[in-house]
């Protein structure tokens, strides 16, 4: 039951983009079309899950035993950057078609603060490895959901008559704010489920 709550909470209640405001750059930059946002979401899901596993192991077996916890941020950034490069090289050799599909999005993930944010959050929340993987994957799904819904909104805006003063980034930011407000409707769901199932 704990894993289901982590899953629901990460997707809807504490959405990484709309509630915690991490990963805003790709959210605003790559969300013009639904197909590109789906590609970015798939790449983020893959890298975020893999990066969380590796950074968790680095924290528990390298940093903590040697008293190097203060190097967490630098170590995680290096791990994520090298992991993205390694994934890019492996995909190029093993699956050129998948590399072509994700190719343009993979370098963008290196600078996506949501990946680093999740890696640090699982340590702060004191999750075990399985909980960390569930949280990372759920967060990636939440990121993908927010991006895809927002891309749909932006595609619809292209067909709408927007007042001249609101055109461009102004209407995009207003739309993002409205989507964030819509997701605020889910706040309290995880607390209600915890009470319902007696996990408090």
Q: For the chain, what percent of residues have pLDDT higher than 70?
A: 97
The string of DSSP codes covering 105-156 is THHHHHT-HHHHHHHHHHHHTT--HHHHHHHHHHHHHHHHHHHHHHHHHHHH
Predicted TM-score (pTM) of the model is: 0.87
Of residues 128 and 165, more confidence is placed in: 128
Section 117-137 average pLDDT: 94
At 109 the pLDDT is: 77
For the stretch 138-186, pLDDT in tens is 999 999 999 999 999 999 988 888 888 888 889 989 999 999 998 888 8
Provide the mean pLDDT of the chain.
87
- Bigger pLDDT: 28 vs 58: 58
Give the three-state DSSP class for 69.
helix
How many whole angstroms separate alpha carbon 187 and alpha carbon 200? Answer: 17
Task: Kindly report, residue by residue over 80-109, the tens digit of the pLDDT.
Answer: 999 888 878 887 887 777 777 666 677 777
pLDDT class for 40, splitting at 50, 70, 90?
confident
């Amino acid at each position: 039951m704990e894993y289901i709550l982590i899953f629901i909470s990460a997707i809807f209640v504490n959405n990484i983009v709309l509630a915690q405001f991490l990963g805003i750059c790709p959210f605003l930059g790559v969300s013009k079309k639904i197909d590109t946002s789906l590609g970015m979401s798939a790449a983020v899901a893959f890298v975020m899950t893999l990066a969380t596993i590796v950074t968790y192991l680095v924290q528990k077996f390298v940093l903590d035993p040697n008293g190097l916890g203060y190097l967490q941020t630098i170590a995680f950034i290096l791990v994520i950057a090298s992991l993205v490069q390694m994934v890019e090289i492996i995909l190029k050799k093993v699956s050129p078609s998948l590399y072509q599909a994700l190719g343009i999005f993979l370098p963008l993930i290196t600078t996506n603060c949501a990946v680093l944010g999740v890696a640090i959050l699982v340590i702060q929340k004191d999750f075990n490895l399985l909980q960390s993987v569930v949280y990372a994957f759920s967060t990636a799904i939440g990121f993908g959901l927010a991006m895809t819904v927002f891309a749909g909104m932006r595609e619809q805006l292209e067909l709408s008559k927007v007042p001249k003063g609101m055109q461009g980034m102004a209407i995009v930011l207003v739309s993002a704010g409205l989507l964030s407000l819509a997701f605020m409707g889910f706040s309290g769901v995880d607390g209600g489920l915890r009470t319902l199932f007696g996990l408090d």
